[in-house]
């Protein structure tokens, strides 16, 4: 299960117009930066780019999981883009990517980092979940799909 505070609605962009891997990483960096608190979007972008140079974080079936460790970060942070048009991301299956979950973890969070990446990879290898995310109309719907238990404002409706 994903940590409760990993991602919020304002860190989700649907039908995003990023047209290249570089633009995707730039958009993720902006979404991952928090209200003027360090690290800033430029530092985040550099760390994501640095990690991507080690090898593509493009998985398969249209999914990529760019991630980086950031010294001084206290808690993991996530952001999500659903691209309006799939792009080349050097994915394992050589297919284009349209679902991108960006992850930042504290610099010393090795075990937690790996466990969180494994959980994200498990979630995003579920074709049913990916299909539902591709059809979601709002960030709230995406959030509910990532956290399938009832959310506070959805507590009155039982799914």
Minimal CA–CA distance to 146: which of 104, 111, 99? 99
Residues with active-site annotation? 67
In DSSP notation, the chain reads: ---TTS--GGGEEEEE---SHHHHHHHHHHHHSBTTBSSPHHHHHHHHHHHHHHS--B-STTEE--EEEETT--S-EEEEEEEEEEE----TTS--EEEEEEEEEETT-HHHHHHHHHHHHHHHT-HHHHHHHHH--SHHHHHHHHS-SPPGGGTTS--
């Amino acid at each position: 299960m994903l940590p409760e505070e990993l991602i919020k609605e304002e860190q989700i962009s649907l039908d995003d117009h990023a047209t290249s891997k570089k633009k995707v990483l730039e958009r993720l960096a902006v979404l991952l930066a928090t209200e003027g608190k360090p690290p800033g979007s430029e530092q985040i972008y550099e760390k994501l780019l640095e990690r991507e140079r080690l090898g593509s974080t493009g998985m398969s079936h249209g999914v990529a999981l760019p991630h980086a460790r950031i010294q001084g970060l206290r808690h993991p942070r996530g952001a999500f883009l659903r691209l309006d048009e799939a792009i080349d991301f050097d994915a394992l299956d050589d297919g284009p990517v349209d679902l991108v979950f960006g992850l930042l973890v504290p610099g010393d969070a090795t075990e937690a980092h790996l466990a969180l990446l494994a959980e994200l990879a498990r979630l995003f290898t579920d074709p049913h979940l990916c299909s539902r995310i591709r059809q979601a109309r709002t960030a709230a719907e995406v959030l509910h799909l990532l956290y399938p238990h009832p959310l506070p404002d959805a507590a009155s409706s039982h799914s």
